[in-house]
Amino acid sequence: MALNGPVDPANSAKPALREEPRGLFEEILSLLGSVASYFQNLAVLAGEESKEALALGLRMGLLLLVALFFAGFGYALLVIAVAFFAAHFLGVSWFWILAGFTTLHLLIAAVCVNRIKALCRTKLFETTRREITADIDALRKEKRP
């Protein structure tokens, strides 16, 4: 707070009852400081949201790799199972074991794909949405003189 006139060190600890009017230059500096603070807070919020998006992308990428691994492994086992089936013409042998493993791995791949689909439906930027909603609510509740 800029004061017009000399400052008395003995009375500087006492709070002023009424603020003296400031000049245009001080008001412009105050406005610029508020705008700079707003953009600084906006940048911090964007940084937080980018971390959230990065974490979501990493989880989705990892699940996609797991799904591709199990789908490829299931396909390989299915090919082996068909080969055993052709060799034994429906005789009870390793076919049923390989078919069971194939089914298991394909089910795991399907679960991973469904999990990826669920993550794609997740709302992004939840923190920003909450902040903007809180700001709008505060502006609506603010009493105007």
pLDDT at position 44 is: 83
CA pair distance 85, 81, nearest whole angstrom: 6
pLDDT at position 17 is: 56
State pLDDT tens for residues 80-119.
776 676 666 666 666 666 776 778 878 988 998 898 888 7
pLDDT at position 66 is: 93
DSSP string, 69-107: HHHHHHHHHHHHHHHHHHHHTT-SSHHHHHHHHHHHHHH
The low-confidence residues of the chain, meaning pLDDT below 70, are 1-19, 82-83, 85-97, 100, 122, 124, 143-145
pLDDT at position 132 is: 84
Helix residue ranges per DSSP H, the chain:
24-88, 94-120, 126-141
Predicted model pTM: 0.40
CA pair distance 48, 127, nearest whole angstrom: 8
Evaluate whether 67 touches 106 at the Cβ level (below 8 Å).
no
pLDDT at position 1 is: 44
Task: Tell me the domain boundaries of the chain.
Answer: 50-141
